[in-house]
Amino acid sequence: MKKIIMVATMLLLSFTSNLVLAREDVSEFSIENVMSLEQAKQKIGTEVRFYFGNQKHGKILKNWGEVSTNKKTNAFTKSDEEACTQAFLSALITLKKRVIKEGGNAVIKIKSNYKSNEFNSATSYQCGAGNVLAGVALKGTIVKLP
Digit-coded pLDDT (tens) for 94-110 = 999 999 999 999 999 99
- Give the pLDDT confidence score for residue 23 in this predicted structure: 82
Q: How far is CA 16 from CA 19, 59, 129, in A?
A: 5, 55, 19
Mean of pLDDT over the chain: 90
CA 32 to chain CA centroid, nearest Å? 14
Whole-model pTM: value is: 0.84
Domains of the chain: 23-144 (3.30.110.70)
70's CB contacts (< 8 A; 6+ apart) are 91, 113, 135, 136, 137
135 neighbors 126 (Cβ within 8 angstroms):
no
Indicate the range of 20-34, 94-108, 127-141 predicted with least confidence: 20-34
- The conformational region for residue 21 under phi > 0 = left, psi -120 to 50 = alpha, else beta, is alpha
- What whole-number distance in Å separates Cα of residue 107 and Cα of residue 111? 10
- Give the pLDDT confidence score for residue 7 in this predicted structure: 53
CA angle centred on 88, ends 86 and 92, rounded to 5°? 115
